[in-house]
Structure 1
């Protein structure tokens, strides 16, 4: 279909993750997850902060933040309150359960662990508008995301 619509396209103009470095794997549901986060953090949206974390993590889901000011800037925060605003959003992400953070040389968010957002969403399902949750479920089914299900608790 691409060749039919763009027959003269030079492949060099496209992003090919197999040929370049500087990419990460993210859930295809990320836009919906970001919307859920923004909805839960109301007038202090943290969805973009979460996305920035994903863009900097590797397969171990661990991020070492050596320069919080850089992440604040990447999250869209500038000025003298940029860092404090970013820290506030990070606290929100931790309170919602999307991340956990440990203190280190650069402060309380030096080491950050990103949890599977599909599992987190199931844990906080009661806080999410039903239509939004159903939309995420439908998208997960569309893409074959088998992890979009309730967290299983081990038998006692």
Structure 2
């Protein structure tokens, strides 16, 4: 499908979605909705993120989920897949850690993400995790699946959903 065809399909799908929304809710106050084309402060997320989250947390130590930490990193990254962290306490808070041990807990989750290969980290003058490189999670999950470390049902759910949304990373 070329660019022109994609744009035409996108317009058609949007019209269909808007017609259905209007049918279900009637006139909606547009000022109360989030529109990524009009609002700042958004990021691009894979449509498979809920499935990626489950698998990543399964790969982590039991009772020590890593996905909220990964999500906080993802919400700071741009297309170069690189983040410079200037405040570990801020990232710990964004990851959901608020106790006196927030930074210690966050450090543990960052170490686990690095150990699992989802990120690569380098220390700098502001801390152990000042520089972070984020890798494509699909590639790593496929590698874990090929080694038998991801539940088949969850992997197939991820594969199926990735096919639905047009992601080719698992092929």
How far 1:9 moved relative to its partner? 0.4
Alignment of 1:132 onto 2:154: yes
How far 1:4 moved relative to its partner? 1.1
The counterpart of 2:138, out of the listed 118, 125, 140, is: 118
How many angstroms apart in 2 are the aligned matches of 1:142 and 1:8?
A: 30
Deviations 1:2-54 (A, max 9, x none): 11112120111111111111011111111111111111112110111111111
Paired residue for 1:152? none
Paired residue for 1:36? 55
Paired residue for 1:82? 102
The counterpart of 1:61, out of the listed 68, 74, 81, is: 81
SS at match of 1:101: strand
The counterpart of 1:103, out of the listed 119, 123, 141, is: 123
Deviations 1:96-135 (A, max 9, x none): 1111111112212101111111111112112111111111
How many angstroms apart in 1 are the aligned matches of 2:140 and 2:34?
A: 30
Paired residue for 1:7? 26
4+ runs of 1 displaced by more than 6 Å? none
SS at match of 2:52: helix
CA contact (8 A) 1:96 1:124 kept: no
**How does the TM-score come out when normalised to structure 2?**
0.84
**Which of 1 and 2 has greater Rg?**
2
How many angstroms apart in 1 are the aligned matches of 2:142 and 2:170?
A: 8
The counterpart of 2:163, out of the listed 126, 133, 141, is: 141
Deviations 1:56-106 (A, max 9, x none): 111111111100101111111111111010010011111111111111122
Gaps of 5+ in 1: 150-156
Paired residue for 1:22? 41
How many angstroms apart in 2 are the aligned matches of 1:74 and 1:143?
A: 28
**How does the TM-score come out when normalised to structure 1?**
0.92
